[in-house]
């Protein structure tokens, strides 16, 4: 069971003015903030990625990064740390989400491969995510998603999952 992870986001802020106009987008945003697992679905162009990216970007600005430091106390490279891990089933989908959220995004296979290629004593690239966002999740097989969750739950601080799909 995932621990409850309430995101420190205030949806009354001006940055959410577009989302505030749409009841279903506000419902999705509230769920992302308060629930450990959220599925955001809808037809293309309904604002799924917009809602997820705005809420998670606001949360990222508020999350304490004190546990994201090297043993010498210096903050790790954001590319390595990734409080929020954006993934997708294909390279093209990962590229699209990367552009939309303006943050690194990876294929699920890249994440899985990083755990398999790890050498003894070597830090894992994806060992710190607190939030997993999976775009185009309707294209991900149950087996692949199961492997991803198992690795992240056992090797990271994952406490929230956001699934985005049609």
pLDDT in tens, the chain (166 residues): 444 578 888 999 999 999 999 999 999 999 999 999 999 999 988 899 999 999 998 888 776 544 444 555 544 443 334 689 999 999 999 999 999 988 999 999 999 998 886 666 566 678 888 899 999 999 999 999 999 999 999 888 888 999 999 8
Structure-token pair, residue 14: 């001006």
Contacts of 113 by beta carbon, 8 Å cutoff, 6+ apart:
none
pLDDT score, position 71: 53
What is the reported pTM?
0.84
- The dihedral sign for the CA sequence 12, 17, 20, 25: negative
Is 118 within 8 Å of 130 (Cβ atoms)?
A: no
Using alpha carbons, list the distances in angstroms from residue 20 to 13, 24, 25, 56: 10, 9, 8, 16
Q: What are 134's strand-pairing partners?
A: 87, 163
């Amino acid at each position: 069971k995932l621990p409850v992870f309430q995101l420190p986001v205030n949806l009354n802020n001006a940055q959410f003015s577009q989302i505030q106009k749409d009841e279903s987008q506000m419902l999705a945003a509230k769920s992302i903030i308060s629930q450990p697992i959220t599925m955001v679905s809808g037809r293309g162009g309904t604002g799924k990625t917009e809602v997820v990216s705005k809420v998670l970007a606001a949360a990222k600005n508020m999350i304490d990064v004190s546990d994201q430091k090297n043993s010498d106390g210096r903050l790790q490279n954001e590319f390595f740390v990734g409080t929020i891990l954006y993934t997708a089933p294909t390279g093209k989908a990962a590229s699209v989400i990367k552009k939309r959220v303006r943050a690194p995004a990876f294929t699920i296979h890249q994440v899985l491969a990083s755990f398999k290629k790890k050498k003894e004593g070597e830090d894992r690239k994806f060992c710190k995510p607190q939030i997993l966002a999976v775009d185009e999740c309707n294209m991900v097989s149950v087996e692949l998603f199961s492997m991803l969750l198992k690795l992240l739950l056992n090797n990271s601080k994952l406490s929230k999952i956001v699934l985005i799909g049609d």
